[in-house]
Amino acid sequence: MVLPIYTYGLPVLRRRADEVTADSPDLQRLADDMIETMRGAHGIGLAAPQVGHSLRLVTVDLSVMDDAPDVPGADPSGALVLLNPEVAPHPAAEREEFEEGCLSIPDVREVVVRPDRLRLRWTGRDFATHELDAEGMLARVIQHEIDHLDGVLFTDRVSALRKRLLTRRLRMIARGETEAEYPIRTVAGDR
């Protein structure tokens, strides 16, 4: 089922998400719904807080990444589910600028500087522990989505000047004055 994506200004996006402690049919259904929602919105990553669930759960669509490695735990369609993901610095990482967007902040894109590589550890859908050195687009998406789990949005990582220039647009979104090509939930209700 496609879920509405929560937009900027809704409190769940600013809370640190809770650890996933046990498997359940509801958790597996949520992961499936998040994959369907992410793909329906043409996203490449989605965190559970973006669909109103304060859980440390992320989905990533590897099928749209040209440089995605063979990732343990990914399903044959390229969907990857990360439970309780943790990142550590990669010794060869360099800082890289890249323009990011976010399904929770429709029609806003800004340059964000992040490490181009990282070490990732997570629990898969099968509750097995996995590790991977990620780089390129996969590393960027993972960092962006883990930020969501910590209540951080990509707009928090832009320069002070760029953030000031975004203020009006962000206030409009926070008031529910926004549209998207996918279902969204705003302070003004569902659209």
pLDDT tens digits, one per residue of 50-97: 999 999 999 999 999 987 888 999 999 999 999 999 999 999 999 999
SS3 18: strand
Domains defined for the chain, CATH in brackets? 5-190 (3.90.45.10)
99 carries an active-site annotation: no
- Backbone φ/ψ region at 34: left (φ over 0), alpha (ψ -120 to 50), beta: alpha
- pTM for the full predicted model: 0.96
The C-alpha angle 76, 82, 83, rounded to 5 degrees, equals 135
Is 122 within 8 Å of 130 (Cβ atoms)?
Answer: yes
Please, what sign has the CA dihedral across residues 149, 95, 131, 60?
Answer: positive
Options 145, 177, 179, 181, the catalytic residue: 145
Instruction: For residue 191, count other CB atoms closer than 10 A to its CB.
Output: 14
What's 62's DSSP letter? G
Task: Quote the percentage of the chain above a pLDDT of 70.
Answer: 100
Residue 189's pLDDT band (cuts 50, 70, 90): confident
Beta strands in 23-91 (DSSP E): 45-47, 57-61, 79-89
